[in-house]
Structure 1
Amino acid sequence: MTSDSGSLSDSVTIVGAGMAGAACAQVLHHAGVPFRIVDRGRAPGGRMSSPELHGRRVDLGAGYFTVRDQEFTTVVADWESKGLARQWANTFGILKPETVPCTTTGPVRWATPAGLRSLVRNMVEGFEIQDSTELTDLPDGHVVVAMPDPQAARLTSVPDAVDYDAVIAVACGFDGLDIPFRDAAFVNDHPDIDFVVDDGARRADGAPVLVAHTTSERAQQHLDEPDGAIGSVLDALRELSVITTQPTWTHAHRWTFAKPAAQHDSNFALEQQDGRFVGLAGDQWCDSGVPRVESAWRSGTDVGRELILRLGN
């Protein structure tokens, strides 16, 4: 028996080819539910962006991922066995103006030899991704919108939509590096940057490349022209004694909706609208309270399973 809103043979459109959209696609694929993925990006991955800069991939979006969810642990183990992901570090530096650097220990952070985007590429391998640049309304049929709330709200209503902080990621290449931390560092009480990472350590290729993430306040001043943030970022890195020489190249990437400023108290939303199901997913749908790569995977997986359940009833 099927519901008034469709059946398992009805096609689903997934809007967004980031981690949440990819996870939803995998669930539908394994259940034999027809679907299509649409995305406005030039490549899958969303905020797990790893463009090629000066001959190598550089992670400009999410800095790493952690593993807490038991089911996600199995997924990560498969990535590890394929050489797509590796355990990276559990201790990061802490930098603060006019303060001696120190360290903090936390969960194991995972990184990827080919950039974080490679994980999403692996998940959607064999799936066609259509361009959604011209999409201004929800497409026909069942839909899962897997993107930040401000973007999702352009297509459909989002209950209790959460705001997002902006970030500009600045990558810098050098002839060599001698930095006061290992792997990465959180930056406290600085107006311009709040995270800096040794991308060569993260990627395990030793490349002298740093990636710094601006504070939201600094990013807001340069959303129209991201390159305008580069000077402030370099000044901050000098002030914190991270660098003493000029980089050989720089690259700035704007993230208008980089990270949720809050989160929903459920892992997804799924409602009937005009005789079809409309779902919402993403890292902001996170009842554990801490949005991250893992929560995006959990959200996409859970909304896919719930959609299958409702289509089958």
Structure 2
Amino acid sequence: MIVVGAGIAGVACAGELVRAGVPVEVRERGRVPGGRLASRRFDGRPTDTGAAYLTADDPDFTEVVEGWRAAGLVREWTDTFLAYGADGHREVSGPRRWAAPRGLRSLVEELARDLPVTVDRPVTSVRPGPVVDGRSCAAVALCVPGPQAAPLLDPALTAATRAVGEQRWSPSLATVLRFPSRRWADFRGAFVNDHPVLALVCDDGDRRGDDAPVLVAHTTPEFAAGHLAQPGAAGPPVEQAVRDLLGLPEPAELVHVHRWTYAKPTAGGVGTYHLDDEGIGLAGDAFGKPRVQSAWRSGRDLGRALAERLLTVGG
């Protein structure tokens, strides 16, 4: 059994299979697990460059989050953001948001700690059988965005090909801005409405709990779409937009832009996962709201369904 993708959906899927006694291998094309729960270190300090935070209202996922909190891996961050618009800004309340002192990627690494994950090992083809890169397997779970899964699938795998074709995704750029000092009023995070560049700005020092003078700005899909070929060129206009928004006089001393071609699903599948008669499973937040919780639950549910099918067939 092969799981493609070591984001939170992939490791949740693999975890269920391992607990059920199903032999599994997780293949990740990147250098580290995490997927869109991405963190990058700058001068030794982690900064979240993917998902901005997580929320939990599903009882099972809430239990996972509480376990992370007990282990010191997450902290309550805030339930209040600012919302910027044409009429200025105001505070808006929402769900409790959780942050990770060591970066959100550390949560995926914790879930993957006892799993057989192979990094720098992309899958190139999935054929009927299923056969993954020429190797027969009992089933395969594709826990990556549909547009990344589509090129892997043989057209003869009609159900899976149709399911990934139903997914739609929007891009974003996450821009890390480190300033010489904290020159802004406390705001934790800000939704930016009807802006040509910005969609969300987070105070990463507040989020991390170390008060570092670091902001992370997430752009609109429209702005990102025009800079996917050369994301680095987006750094200056994003920095200027953030400085204008917050009234910051000093330029950032570090600017890093991370490209997310498939940042957020805008249309996806029915239910919490896809599993067809050909042994091809699909999981991720395209099966639900674009949330960390949705991706975890999708992977968990697919893992359980695969374990039940494989153990029934094998038993």
User: Does the alignment reach a TM-score above 0.5?
Assistant: yes
- Cα shift readout 1:144-190 (whole Å, capped 9, x = no counterpart): 00011111111221415211111111001111123255210000110
1:148 counterpart = 2:145: yes
Q: Using the alignment, how far apart are the partners of 1:301 and 1:242 within structure 2?
A: 44
Partner of 1:70 in structure 2? Answer: 59
Partner amino acid for 1:245? E
Pair 1:87-2:76 in alignment: yes
Task: Report the CA distance between 1:129 and its aligned residue.
Answer: 2.1
Query: What aligned pairs does 1:14-93 form with structure 2 within 5 A after superposition?
Result: 14-93=3-82
| 1:149–1:158 Cα contact (<8 Å) kept | no
* Residues 93 and 181 in structure 1, CA contact (< 8 A), matched pair in contact too: no
Structure 1 residue 163 and structure 2 residue 168: aligned?
yes
Distance in 1 between residues matched to 2:270 and 2:184, nearest whole Å = 40
- Give the match for residue 112 of structure 2: 124
**Residues 42 and 303 of structure 1, relative CA distance in 2, 3 Å threshold:** same
The answer (yes or no) to whether the contact 1:177–1:243 under 8 Å persists in 2 is no
Q: Deviations over 1:58-111 (max 9, x none)?
A: 0000000000101111111111100011111000011235x3321110000010
Among 205, 209, 218, the residue aligned to 1:204 = 209
- Please report how far the alpha carbon of residue 257 of structure 1 lies from its aligned counterpart in structure 2 after TM superposition: 0.4
Percent identity over the alignment? 43
Q: What does residue 221 of structure 2 align with?
A: 216
Indicate which of 243, 262, 270 corresponds to 1:257.
262
Q: Counterpart amino acid of 2:43?
A: H
Q: Does 1:103 align with 2:91?
A: yes
How many pairs are equivalent?
295
Are the counterparts in 2 of residues 180 and 242 from structure 1 also a CA contact under 8 Å?
no
The answer to whether residue 176 in structure 2 is matched with residue 179 in structure 1 is: no
> How far, CA to CA, are the matches of 1:96 and 1:55 in structure 2?
35
More displaced stretch, 234-243 vs 189-198? 234-243
> Relative to structure 1, is the Cα distance of residues 211 and 54 closer, same or farther in structure 2, using a 3 angstrom cutoff?
same
Residue identity opposite 1:82 in structure 2: A
State the match for 2:287 in structure 1: 285
Q: Is the 8 A contact 2:31 2:120 kept in 1?
A: no
Can you list the C-alpha shifts for 1:210-252, whole angstroms capped at 9, x where unaligned? 0000111111111111111111111211221352210111111
Contact 2:32 2:119 in 1 (8 A): no
Residue deviations 1:23-44 (CA, integer Å, cap 9, x gap)? 0111111111110000111110
Name the amino acid aligned to 1:300. G
* Aligned twin of 1:302: 301
Kept after mapping to 1: 8 A contact 2:27/2:122: no
Equivalent residue number for residue 276 of structure 2: 271
130-139 or 32-41: bigger deviation: 130-139
- Normalization by structure 1: what TM-score? 0.91
- Displacement of 1:261 in angstroms is 1.3
Question: Do the aligned partners of residues 33 and 85 (structure 1) sit closer, same or farther apart at CA in structure 2, a change above 3 Å counting?
Answer: same
* Counterpart residue identity of residue 111, structure 1: A
Which amino acid in structure 1 is aligned with residue 31 of structure 2?
R
User: Quick check: 1:232 aligned with 2:237?
Assistant: yes
**Aligned partners of 2:117, 2:171: CA distance in 1, in Å?**
26
CA contact (8 A) 1:49 1:61 kept: yes
Q: Distance in 2 between matches of 1:296 and 1:77?
A: 18
* Letter of the 1:72 counterpart: F
Q: 1:191 aligns with which of 163, 172, 196?
A: 196
